[in-house]
Structure 1
Amino acid sequence: MSGVIAVLGGVLWWRLGPMAVGVVTPTRGPAVEAVYATGTVEPTVMLPIAPRQGGNLAELNADEGDTVRKGQVLARFEDEDLDNTVRELASRARYAQAQYRRNEELAQRGFQAKLELDRIRADREAAEAALKRAEAQRGFLALTAPADGLIIRRDGEIGQFIPTGQAVFHLSCCAPLRVTAEVDEEDIPRVRVGQKALLRADALPGRVLDGEVAEVTPKGDPVARSYRVRIRLTDPAELRVGMTVDANLVVSERQDALLVPTGALRNGTLWLVRDGKLHRQAVRVGVAGAVRSEILEGLEPDAQVVDAPTEDLREGRAARARPTDAKESAP
């Protein structure tokens, strides 16, 4: 009989005795409300360099990663046929010029009709125009850099036929790198030009880079249900074209917010240990982060907050607080 009483006593103690719970004290720190997006580093200005006339690549003088100057010859195409054409037309132009000079002298002496001289002048001008046109076409077979910049892509090998208009090089120039990010259509109303952006890249672990929203495209993608946002980089030197980044576009930021572990919240309420008992406390939540959440109203700075509430917590039940180490972190 005494054994049964002992068992019943143990059950009652387990149900009615003080419950051990882990507690934390709210901390102070920054609370950042932000819109999350993923993006890619890209040139602000990227110029494709393509031939105006198709042909076979005969010479490559630049490659990916090269820094080039405006006017620098990057590649040449086979121009043997055009060279022959230019020589032929140059010979015709010289002959036409010589013919005109001889007939001009005859006309000055009165031995040549003005009408015939006008015809010979027209022949000379036509020959010179044909020569200039052929020389210009030959010039199209040399690809030159339109501005100072960096070659970020090359498509084509020596001997390969490149059609008219197909880019052989892509040149990054004229402006620093930027990030282009895709923002969900539900979040885009909270994004505006001039907004602060915090960027993280897997290629730069532990680094947070600053940026600023420079442009929000007016038309979204109806398939992806997102809008494109351009972010200006404060220090683009550490990034490279093509890197992926995580972007947090800051909507609001408070430096001295009252913070609790996000896991302590249950539908806008916290469990507190006060005077040795459990109490449910309704609070007004501000910025909710993955690790920490901001409490705007309903919580004292020195409160003992149950860090991991469970379903068996009951209002007024005796509790024994067990301090838990909480990692300091912003939302």
Structure 2
Amino acid sequence: MKPIYLLALSLVFLFISCSKQVDPSEKLNKLIAERDKLNQEIVELQKQISKNDTLKDEKMVKILEISPKEFKSYIRVQGRVDGDENAAVNTKVVGVIKNILVKTGDRVTKGQILATLDDEVLQSSLKELRAQYEFTLTVYERQKRLWDQKIGSEIQYLTAKNNKEAMENRIKSLQEQINMYKLTAPVSGTVEDVSIKIGQAVSPGLSLMRIVNFSKMKVVAEVSETYSSKIKKGDEVEIIFPDIPYTTRSQISFASKFINPVNRTFIVEAQIPSSVTVSANMVAVLNINDYKKTDAIVVPDNLILNENGEKFIYVAEDQNGKLVVARKKIVTGRSYKGETEILQGVDKNIRLIASDLQRIEEGQIVKPL
């Protein structure tokens, strides 16, 4: 009986010990997870300790004192020099050049005859009409004297008068036709181009000469329609003549409201001061002021950082007598020549950190170089 009892007791203990045994793989995975968690906590603690040590160190950085100032942005376009009065000379009739009375560079006045076309046929007709007019005038004068003396009929007098006036109108009309065979200056100025030769056949629509009035010069430029709402008459403009070289300032004297459907541009003009000596069609560059603010906060472009689409800058703020790094999220506006206006996110006066931007952290103590 006793051996059977001992055997049963041994089986119970064996069952209990087997039920408490843990799978080695499961235990290993558990230990690995605990180790990884401890390693992560160690790394975080090391980072925190390093950061605290860094923040305690006073780092030397370059600091810029930024305060409100005037900020302007410009649109840059290329144009050409033109006279305020730049006119082409053309003919109203078909004909052949008979005489050229001017040459390139000559000064002319408005209405001055520059060249003539062959009008021999019309001159012959005019000579005949004038001979007929002399006879008609004689008849009229005699008939008028008789009529004044109450001699002759009223019909005879009126007929003679009508013939005389009709002949005068024919002569006047023919003289106007002859005048159309003369090329005259449409404006006062300088002859800049003569494109005709004696004996050359010409017709309406052709530019035969060009007269430019240099007493008032201007720059003409074509500007993209993108800026049509930003440029207006009176805007400040900087005019650069790269070939001289020379730079002067003026204002927009004309801004067209018509958009060229071919190249989607509009015309702007700026008067050139009379003290500037330039030539027609000379290249000129216009810097047109399209934006101006008198109290803008402006910072260099390279000091604006971007992280995940968020723009920010580092500034140094006074905390308990020490300068501490602060990160400021900003909203920017216009940019021009390496500077950008800050619209939101900072005060009017800031200490902008301008060096070691990748090696400083918010809360770090800094000193100016």
What is the TM-score normalised by the length of structure 2? 0.64
In structure 2, the partner of 1:184 is 224
Name the CA distance, whole Å, in 2 between partners of 1:62 and 1:265: 64
Match of 2:354 among 298, 305, 322: 305
In structure 1, the partner of 2:124 is 84
Q: CA deviation at 1:215?
A: 2.7
Name the CA distance, whole Å, in 1 between partners of 2:250 and 2:133: 60
Q: 1:114 to 1:180 in 2, by over 3 A?
A: same
Q: CA deviation at 1:196?
A: 0.8
Letter in 2 for 1:306: S
Q: Is 1:96 aligned to 2:144, yes or no?
A: no
Name the CA distance, whole Å, in 1 between partners of 2:275 and 2:94: 37
Name the CA distance, whole Å, in 2 between partners of 1:204 and 1:134: 52
Name the CA distance, whole Å, in 1 between partners of 2:136 and 2:262: 64
Q: 1:174 to 1:146 in 2, by over 3 A?
A: farther
The answer to which of 216-225 and 134-143 deviates more is 216-225
The answer to which of 68-77 and 100-109 deviates more is 100-109
- Segments of structure 2 that go 5 or more residues without pairing to the other structure are 1-53, 55-59
Cα contact 2:61–2:353 (8 A) shared by 1: no
Cα contact 1:212–1:233 (8 A) shared by 2: no
The answer to which of 195-204 and 30-39 deviates more is 30-39
SS state of the match for residue 258, structure 2? coil
Q: Is 1:288 aligned to 2:288, yes or no?
A: no
Name the CA distance, whole Å, in 1 between partners of 2:145 and 2:274: 71
Q: CA deviation at 1:180?
A: 2.6
Match of 1:243 among 273, 276, 282: 282
Match of 1:65 among 105, 118, 125: 105
Larger Rg: 2
Map Cα deviations across residues 152-190 of structure 1 (whole Å, 9 max, x no partner): 443322211221354423333497222233333333322
Structure having greater relative contact order (Cα 8 Å, sep ≥ 6): 1
Q: 1:223 to 1:56 in 2, by over 3 A?
A: closer
Map 1:176-325 onto structure 2 (within 5 A): 176-205=216-245, 207-235=246-274, 237-253=276-292, 261-267=300-306, 268-270=311-313, 282=329, 285=332, 287-293=334-340, 298=346, 303-306=352-355, 313=358, 315-316=360-361
Q: 1:257 to 1:114 in 2, by over 3 A?
A: closer
Map Cα deviations across residues 222-273 of structure 1 (whole Å, 9 max, x no partner): 4433333232334473333222322222234568977654344333444689
Map 1:135-146 onto structure 2 (within 5 A): 135-146=175-186
Name the CA distance, whole Å, in 2 between partners of 1:161 and 1:211: 44
Name the CA distance, whole Å, in 2 between partners of 1:138 and 1:33: 57
Match of 1:41 among 54, 71, 81: 81
Map Cα deviations across residues 51-94 of structure 1 (whole Å, 9 max, x no partner): 33321111222234332123322111112212211111111111
Cα contact 1:270–1:305 (8 A) shared by 2: no
What is the TM-score normalised by the length of structure 1? 0.70
In structure 2, the partner of 1:329 is none
Cα contact 1:26–1:305 (8 A) shared by 2: no
Cα contact 2:215–2:274 (8 A) shared by 1: no
Cα contact 1:26–1:260 (8 A) shared by 2: no
Q: 1:108 to 1:233 in 2, by over 3 A?
A: closer
Name the CA distance, whole Å, in 2 between partners of 1:110 and 1:188: 77
Name the CA distance, whole Å, in 1 between partners of 2:170 and 2:151: 30
SS state of the match for residue 130, structure 2? helix
Q: CA RMSD in A?
A: 4.3
The answer to which of 86-95 and 240-249 deviates more is 240-249
Name the CA distance, whole Å, in 2 between partners of 1:204 and 1:258: 36
Name the CA distance, whole Å, in 2 between partners of 1:51 and 1:177: 26
Name the CA distance, whole Å, in 1 between partners of 2:101 and 2:62: 68
Question: Quick check: which one's helix share is greater?
Answer: 2
Cα contact 1:177–1:236 (8 A) shared by 2: no
Q: CA deviation at 1:98?
A: 2.5
The answer to which of 29-38 and 137-146 deviates more is 29-38
- Segments of structure 1 that go 5 or more residues without pairing to the other structure are 1-16, 324-331
Q: CA deviation at 1:210?
A: 0.8
SS state of the match for residue 180, structure 1? strand
Identity of aligned residues (%): 20
